[in-house]
Amino acid sequence: MLQKYEPIIYSAFERAVSALHEHHKHGKLCFTKRTRAGIIRDYTVMFLKEAFRGDPDIQILSKGGTTYFRFGESLKGKVKKLDRRHLARYHHTPTSKDYTSQGSNQGELFGTDYQLTNVHIGYILDDLGIGIREVVITCPVQNGRSNEWKFMIASSVKDTPEVDGIFNSYSEGGNGGYKLNPKAPKDQSKDARTGTGGSGADAD
């Protein structure tokens, strides 16, 4: 499901960082890390909204100051800055704990009766804090203390994404290394990148 959107997602982060430097030229000196992260997130969300507008496979919804992107009937994502362990930092609320623990009602926000897998559409800046080092899709569990899986997004369709070794045990059945939420109905267990399951069924 995500495969065709990888260049769009990566580009949104690159454009967001460029916009930060262009419109806030002294940002690295004057802004805190948290402020810069918020600006990058807001720009990225704006660019993703523009890119995804009108796409029938993507639904966008904002609630409580957070924008969520639903990809088909499999994934629900939000933009987050990640640390070098590919984990997001939270000042936890009941909602965020539920999100990062793959709670039982993750499809309810979009009015669906099937279970969605929560993901972070995440990024890591380079050592200088002036460019994108990595763009990663992660599936948080245990209140965000670890990831069930993670997938490195390539900067272009010609690049080969790097896949974390944890995928090896989940690659059987044509799932492309993804393990979707175990609470999801079996017919929703589709490849997160291609939208297909082990039988090759189309997600749409």
Domain residue extents for the chain: 3-188
Q: Could you read off the pLDDT of 146-175 as tens digits, one per residue?
A: 999 999 997 654 444 444 433 332 233 333
174 Rama class: left (phi>0) / alpha (psi -120 to 50) / beta: left
Tell me: pLDDT of 92 over 50.
yes
Tell me: pLDDT of 53 over 90.
yes
Contacts of 181 (CB under 8 A, 6+ apart): 102, 106, 115, 116, 117, 118
Give the DSSP H/E element, type plus range, for residue 9.
helix 6-23
Tell me: pLDDT of 70 over 50.
yes
Dig out the tokens for 185 from the structure: 């109905």
Tell me: pLDDT of 182 over 50.
no
Q: Which residue has the tokens 């790097």?
A: 162
* 0.85 exceeded by pTM: no
Q: Tell me the pairing of strands 117-125 and 75-81.
A: parallel
Give the DSSP H/E element, type plus range, for residue 134.
strand 132-141
